[in-house]
C-alpha cells in the first residue's frame, strides 16, 4: 500500500467512526445530548425570536389591533370584577384593584405558558419531522411568545397604578429576579409537559382542568390574609405551589414585603421542576419525533 493511500484510508475510517450510529450508552450520553440540544438551540436565538413574532402575527392576522385585544379583554375583566369582589370581600377598593390587576395579569401569563407548553412539540410536528432542529427552539418559542403578550398586558397595570395613585419605587425592581426564575421554570415545565403530552394526548385537557381549579384556590381574586383565623382553609396556602411562585413577582410590584420562607419554597419548587424536566427530557428526547 502506498503512502498516499494510507491517509485516505485513515480519513475514511475516522469518518465512519464519527458518524456511526450507536446504541444508548446510559445517562451520561443522554445528558450530553441534552446539553448539545441546549447549546445548539441557544445559537439559534434570532430564529426563536422570529418564530415567536411570527406566531403572534399569524394568530391575529387580519385584526386591526392584534394582541391588544387581550389587553382590552383583561381591562374589561378587571373592571367588571374589581368593584364586585371588593364589596364581597370587604376590602378597600384602592388596594384591591391594583392587587387584582397584577394577579390576573401574572396568572394569565403563567397559565398560558403551562397550557402552550403542553403542545410546544405536538403543534410543530411537521417542522420536527421535516427539519433537523434543536427541540429547545420549540420550547423557548412558546415561552417568548407568551412573554411578548405579557408585555402588552403590562399596559393595564400601568394605567391602574396611575388611576389608583400607586407610586413606583426601586423596590419593584426586586420582581426582576423572580421573573427570570419564571422564565427558567417556563422552559422547564414546557419541556416536561411537551414530552408528556406528545405521548399522551389527553394530558392537555387534564392540565387545563387543573389550572382552572388552581385559579380559584389560589390567592388571585382574593388575598391570602382573608384566610387568617380559618385553620381549616389555611392549608390551601400552605400546600399550594402557585402561592409561592406568584408572590416572588407579585409582592415587589405591589410594594409588599417578600417572605424569605416563601422565596426558599419557590426556589425549592423550581429546583424540583427543573430536575424532573431534565431527567424526563434526557430519557425521552429520542422518542419525541415518533410521538408528535
> Read out DSSP for 22-45?
-----HHHHHHHHHHHHHHHHHTH
The gap from C-alpha 202 to its chain's centroid, in whole angstroms, comes to: 20
pLDDT per residue of the chain (292 residues) written in tens, 0 to 9:
444 444 443 444 444 434 444 556 778 888 888 899 999 989 999 999 999 988 888 877 776 676 677 788 888 888 888 878 777 777 888 888 999 999 999 999 999 999 999 999 988 888 888 888 899 999 999 999 999 989 988 999 999 999 888 888 899 999 999 999 999 999 999 999 999 999 998 999 999 999 999 999 888 888 877 777 666 677 777 888 999 999 999 999 998 988 898 899 999 999 999 999 999 999 998 889 889 8
263 with 248: CB under 8 angstroms? yes
Cell of 84: 364586585
Match 500500500 to its residue by C-alpha cell: 1
127, 164 contact by CB (below 8 A): no
> In the block, which residue shows the cell 382574593?
222
Q: Name 2's Cβ contacts closer than 8 Å, sequence gap at least 6.
A: none
Given its phi and psi angles, is residue 189 left (phi above 0), alpha (psi -120 to 50 degrees) or beta? alpha
Q: What is the pLDDT of residue 15?
A: 42
Please report where in the chains the cell 384566610 appears, as a residue.
227
Q: Which of 214, 207, 185, 169 is nearest to 277 (CA)?
A: 185
pTM above 0.95, yes or no: no
Amino acid at each position: 500500500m502506498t503512502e498516499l493511500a494510507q491517509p485516505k484510508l485513515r480519513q475514511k475510517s475516522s469518518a465512519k467512526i464519527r458518524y456511526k450510529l450507536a446504541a444508548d450508552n446510559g445517562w451520561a450520553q443522554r445528558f450530553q445530548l441534552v446539553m448539545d440540544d441546549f447549546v445548539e438551540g441557544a445559537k439559534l436565538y434570532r430564529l426563536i425570536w422570529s418564530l415567536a413574532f411570527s406566531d403572534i402575527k399569524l394568530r391575529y392576522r387580519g385584526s386591526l389591533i392584534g394582541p391588544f385585544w387581550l389587553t382590552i379583554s383583561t381591562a374589561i375583566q378587571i373592571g367588571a370584577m374589581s368593584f364586585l369582589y371588593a364589596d364581597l370581600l370587604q376590602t378597600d377598593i384602592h388596594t384591591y384593584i391594583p392587587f387584582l390587576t397584577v394577579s390576573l395579569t401574572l396568572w394569565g401569563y403563567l397559565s398560558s405558558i403551562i397550557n402552550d407548553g403542553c403542545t410546544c412539540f405536538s403543534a410543530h410536528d411537521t417542522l420536527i419531522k421535516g427539519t433537523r432542529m434543536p427541540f429547545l427552539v420549540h420550547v423557548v418559542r412558546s415561552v417568548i411568545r407568551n412573554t411578548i403578550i405579557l408585555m402588552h398586558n403590562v399596559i393595564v397595570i400601568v394605567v391602574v397604578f396611575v388611576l389608583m395613585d400607586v407610586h413606583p419605587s426601586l423596590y419593584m425592581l426586586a420582581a426582576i429576579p423572580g421573573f427570570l426564575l419564571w422564565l427558567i421554570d417556563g422552559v422547564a415545565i414546557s419541556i416536561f409537559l411537551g414530552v408528556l403530552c406528545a405521548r399522551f394526548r389527553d394530558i392537555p385537557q387534564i392540565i387545563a382542568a387543573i389550572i382552572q381549579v388552581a385559579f380559584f384556590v389560589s390567592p388571585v381574586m382574593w388575598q391570602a390574609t382573608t384566610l387568617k383565623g380559618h385553620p381549616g382553609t389555611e392549608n390551601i396556602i400552605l400546600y399550594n405551589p402557585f402561592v409561592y411562585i406568584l408572590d416572588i413577582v407579585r409582592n415587589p410590584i405591589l410594594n409588599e414585603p417578600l417572605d424569605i420562607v416563601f422565596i426558599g419554597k419557590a426556589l425549592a419548587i423550581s429546583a424540583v421542576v427543573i430536575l424532573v424536566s431534565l431527567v424526563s427530557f434526557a430519557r425521552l428526547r429520542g422518542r419525541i419525533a415518533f410521538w408528535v
